[in-house]
Chains A and B, each alone.
Chain A
């Protein structure tokens, strides 16, 4: 048996999916410009391990749907609107956007014509309406270099701070609480430090599905004696390895953690020295949590008082305790309050700055840490330097050679509002798909359709690109060289393995070409030079460059990268703001309480095999095959009450809209709530979600809105 001979080379890079940042190698069939195999590499975050997405989910790069030429919307396809949204007929049961439906509305163009049109329109709006009529969404899927260039273009080239990305939908509230509490948004301890923890609180996250390789280290720690305290509203598989699993009612987080702190203070399990020397405002915290004895919140939280007490005692008595959290904490209108409670819990027990302690908000995207570090946030320049600080601004004005706006820009949801109101007239969207990812997509649809000019740069024709005037074909992660920063603050270099298809170009080149066309030339010898400029305007990255990062990367801060891996644990002696500020939080009501009409709480999230809006993973044969369709998970008791059996087609409706989807009857989900993954456009969870946001983090409440469910008459196919 002789197979087709493939002459291959091995290229070292980083997995393009989640925030764990697994080092891998791609075996590349050079002649056919495709990856044939992914192999785990001995990276600091993965030790050679990979999950199903990293190991088998790379074939989207060579999918036939890849954009290979610039596209311009045809005259007859105005006014703008969604083109494929209702295209879920019997001939095509779900899956990603079908280019056959959408492409007829666009014509191919040369790069010159497309860029000319982009420059003319964006510069025109800037001249006519001012820079604040423009906005940009960058992406946490891009590299640090791309994020830096993108925000530089928006700030210096467009003249506005209206630049944001999906961190707003992810950990914005965690970052707001961390910046307020300790003065830094990064994690204090790396994931693998859990091996040295006596106790780890793992809350509001589902690591075996969403951070699978990080989860292997959590399970390993549990096998070696670390007690896991798992808190969630939907039982994650990591609970199988836990000392305690506590299923709380959706939205009761603040009460639950206040009660834990109440017990810890009452039982004298606080670290008085740490509180005295490293924190402030303890008395106010103590006064607030005094109102939350376990006995009084037990019913509201849905957990017996004795179990809340036991969890508190386990945490309080640990020599070293660590806190991991995910979107179940952050994606609420009180997400910042939730994170404040977790920070306070770590602080009053002295659990920071030592091995096996600290706070680790598990980052979702492969580069959400880096994109934020690079300044893809409306309030701050790179390295979290505030745009309204005159000294900081003067430095960046000197570096970038343009006057810069002193006003913090709009966030993701505020940009949508702005577009609806007509205040935002033009947008540049690079690698984001807000029409599926943002709350209340009906509202997003109206907002995108109202834009005078939209340019979308992506690798596929996304649902968002359907609203574009011009679409520019970018490159997949495997097609470029650049750095990404993982959840551990590990900066790692991905190397180009493939050539972009057709006329598609490197994203950083395209950003520079748009800059040129709006009259703000940005020129760099190569992508390493972009990194150097970015690193030079930060403290965190200042010592790093592509050469020193090499194949294994470094944790920042890393003052001596020639001899050190960087810091796996930070804030041993002090916090960036000096003492940590303990911020008491009180339980607030949900944004949309359940009632007789909408009696169930909707929770949204992800599944192991898919990534976000599915543009990549639903074009991977293996991943799509493993998880081909959406579902709504419902408790057997609730299902029985609604006459729903496993596998039935149901309608899930909220005050914003409704979707049709198949029911999965599972007892892992709490009674009174249902779960819908966000990936499936044909059963889009964000049709249902509520656009209200947290007042501090401006993050939408993806984890809570009121819905109703009803069985549909038998339907022969999707």
Chain B
């Protein structure tokens, strides 16, 4: 078996170690494939699908989990790819709460940032008054949970289970009622959570946010060493 494979991404040739994903290969040559569920700190799971690309296969492939193959010709910028990403974003935004607790405090809601990149002012699937009421869990002294803003990307679950190894978080429910849960689906503040904050740190949306920042609008003016 060869140690490396060669492929092209958007026409650019690239050679990567065997087993590298398309997302890693694209990143190596400066092609930015959007992600919501993926983080370089975690095992890729390919659940949000916004990183889909064309590889010539029957259907679109999630770049964060798809290994590169010798001679593969990857396109990240076709109409089909763009249409799919827009559709996914519109679906995710359909019941997204306004405002997002992340966007209004630290301004780094990754879903809304991606929507801006795709010039999505509104979603065709928007349901007026996305029912955030009753879907918020404020039982933790450090983190506010807004299930309405959760996109089930599993970052929090991987952060809890695979980075901090606290094994408090999981998915619970089926179909449309699927949601992130603590222990056997008890409020966060009543669970075995040790308040390390990893879930809040890795969450890309307004689902898990820092309670102490509520009411603030933090704008970082200056990144200094």
A36 to B217, CA, bound (A): 11
Q: Are B194 and A608 neighbours in the complex by a CB distance under 8 Å?
A: yes
List, in ascending order, chain A residues with CB within 8 A of B210's CB.
37
A6 to B105, CA, bound (A): 10
List, in ascending order, chain A residues with CB within 8 A of B218's CB.
6, 8, 27, 29, 36-37
User: A619: shortest Cβ distance to chain B, in Å?
Assistant: 15
- Knowing A11-B224, A626-B195 are in contact, say whether A56-B219 is a contact too (CB < 8 A): no
Q: Does B223 contact A (CB under 8 A)?
A: yes
Q: Does B165 contact A (CB under 8 A)?
A: yes
Q: Does B215 contact A (CB under 8 A)?
A: yes
24 A-B pairs whose Cβ atoms sit less than 8 Å apart in the complex: A1-B104, A4-B217, A6-B216, A8-B218, A10-B224, A27-B220, A37-B106, A37-B213, A37-B218, A39-B201, A50-B196, A50-B197, A50-B198, A52-B196, A52-B197, A55-B142, A55-B197, A56-B195, A212-B194, A216-B164, A608-B194, A622-B141, A622-B212, A625-B141
Contact with B along A1-14 (1 / 0, CB 8 A): 11111111111100
Q: Does A259 contact B (CB under 8 A)?
A: no
Interface size for B (C-beta < 8 A) is 32
Q: Are A8 and B197 neighbours in the complex by a CB distance under 8 Å?
A: no
Q: Does B173 contact A (CB under 8 A)?
A: no
List, in ascending order, chain B residues with CB within 8 A of A216's CB.
163-165
A10 to B106, CA, bound (A): 13
Q: Are A36 and B213 neighbours in the complex by a CB distance under 8 Å?
A: yes
Q: Does A241 contact B (CB under 8 A)?
A: yes
List, in ascending order, chain B residues with CB within 8 A of A48's CB.
41, 201
Known interface pairs A37-B106, A622-B142; 20 further A-B residue pairs with C-beta atoms within 8 A, sorted by A's residue number: A3-B104, A3-B214, A3-B217, A8-B220, A9-B223, A10-B223, A27-B218, A29-B218, A36-B216, A37-B212, A47-B41, A52-B142, A52-B194, A52-B196, A52-B197, A55-B201, A216-B163, A241-B165, A608-B194, A625-B141
Q: Are B142 and A3 neighbours in the complex by a CB distance under 8 Å?
A: no
Q: Are A3 and B220 neighbours in the complex by a CB distance under 8 Å?
A: no
- Knowing A9-B223, A50-B197, A220-B165 are in contact, say whether A56-B216 is a contact too (CB < 8 A): no
Q: Does B121 contact A (CB under 8 A)?
A: no
**Chain A, interface SS category:** mixed
List, in ascending order, chain A residues with CB within 8 A of B198's CB.
49-50
A11 to B201, CA, bound (A): 17
User: A226: shortest Cβ distance to chain B, in Å?
Assistant: 13
Q: Does B11 contact A (CB under 8 A)?
A: no
Measured CB to CB, the residues of B under 8 A from A are 41, 99, 104-106, 141-142, 162-165, 194-198, 201, 210, 212-225
Q: Are A49 and B221 neighbours in the complex by a CB distance under 8 Å?
A: no
A2 contacts which of B104, B194, B195, B213 (Cβ < 8 Å)?
B104
Q: Does A358 contact B (CB under 8 A)?
A: no
A19 to B7, CA, bound (A): 46
List, in ascending order, chain B residues with CB within 8 A of A55's CB.
142, 196-197, 201
The residue among A3, A9, A626 with the most chain B CB atoms within 10 A of its own CB is A3
List, in ascending order, chain A residues with CB within 8 A of B225's CB.
12, 495, 550-551
List, in ascending order, chain B residues with CB within 8 A of A418's CB.
none
A241 to B167, CA, bound (A): 11
A12 to B223, CA, bound (A): 9
A-B contact count (CB 8 A): 100
User: A678: shortest Cβ distance to chain B, in Å?
Assistant: 20
Q: Does A40 contact B (CB under 8 A)?
A: yes
List, in ascending order, chain A residues with CB within 8 A of B201's CB.
39-40, 48, 50, 55
Q: Are A6 and B141 neighbours in the complex by a CB distance under 8 Å?
A: no
Least CB separation from A5: chain B residue:
B217
A9 to B225, CA, bound (A): 10
Contact with B along A645-675 (1 / 0, CB 8 A): 0000000000000000000000000000000
List, in ascending order, chain B residues with CB within 8 A of A12's CB.
225
Q: Are B104 and A219 neighbours in the complex by a CB distance under 8 Å?
A: no
Interface size for A (C-beta < 8 A) is 42
The residue among B165, B210, B212, B217 with the most chain A CB atoms within 10 A of its own CB is B165
Q: Are A10 and B220 neighbours in the complex by a CB distance under 8 Å?
A: yes
Q: Does A51 contact B (CB under 8 A)?
A: yes
List, in ascending order, chain B residues with CB within 8 A of A284's CB.
none
Q: Are A8 and B219 neighbours in the complex by a CB distance under 8 Å?
A: yes
List, in ascending order, chain A residues with CB within 8 A of B222's CB.
9-10
List, in ascending order, chain A residues with CB within 8 A of B219's CB.
5-8
Q: Does A223 contact B (CB under 8 A)?
A: yes
User: B120: shortest Cβ distance to chain A, in Å?
Assistant: 21
List, in ascending order, chain B residues with CB within 8 A of A49's CB.
163-164, 196, 198
User: A463: shortest Cβ distance to chain B, in Å?
Assistant: 27
List, in ascending order, chain B residues with CB within 8 A of A37's CB.
106, 210, 212-213, 218
Contact with B along A207-248 (1 / 0, CB 8 A): 010001001100110010000000000000000010000000
- Knowing A50-B196, A56-B142 are in contact, say whether A219-B165 is a contact too (CB < 8 A): yes
List, in ascending order, chain A residues with CB within 8 A of B165's CB.
215-216, 219-220, 223, 241
A51 to B213, CA, bound (A): 18
B105 contacts which of A3, A10, A52, A495 (Cβ < 8 Å)?
A3
A4 to B219, CA, bound (A): 11
List, in ascending order, chain A residues with CB within 8 A of B162's CB.
220
A29 to B221, CA, bound (A): 10
Least CB separation from B105: chain A residue:
A3
Least CB separation from B223: chain A residue:
A10
A551 to B224, CA, bound (A): 11
The residue among B41, B215, B220 with the most chain A CB atoms within 10 A of its own CB is B220
List, in ascending order, chain B residues with CB within 8 A of A8's CB.
218-221
A439 to B4, CA, bound (A): 62
List, in ascending order, chain B residues with CB within 8 A of A29's CB.
218
A362 to B214, CA, bound (A): 37
User: B225: shortest Cβ distance to chain A, in Å?
Assistant: 6
- Which are the 9 A-B pairs with shortest beta-carbon distances? A219-B165, A3-B217, A55-B197, A52-B195, A9-B222, A6-B218, A3-B215, A3-B216, A5-B217
User: A373: shortest Cβ distance to chain B, in Å?
Assistant: 25
- Knowing A3-B105, A10-B223, A49-B163 are in contact, say whether A56-B197 is a contact too (CB < 8 A): yes
Q: Are A212 and B196 neighbours in the complex by a CB distance under 8 Å?
A: yes
A10 to B218, CA, bound (A): 11
List, in ascending order, chain A residues with CB within 8 A of B99's CB.
1
User: B137: shortest Cβ distance to chain A, in Å?
Assistant: 17
Least CB separation from A240: chain B residue:
B167
A4 to B220, CA, bound (A): 14
Within 8 A of B (CB), among A34-69: 36-37, 39-40, 47-52, 55-56, 59
A27 to B218, CA, bound (A): 9
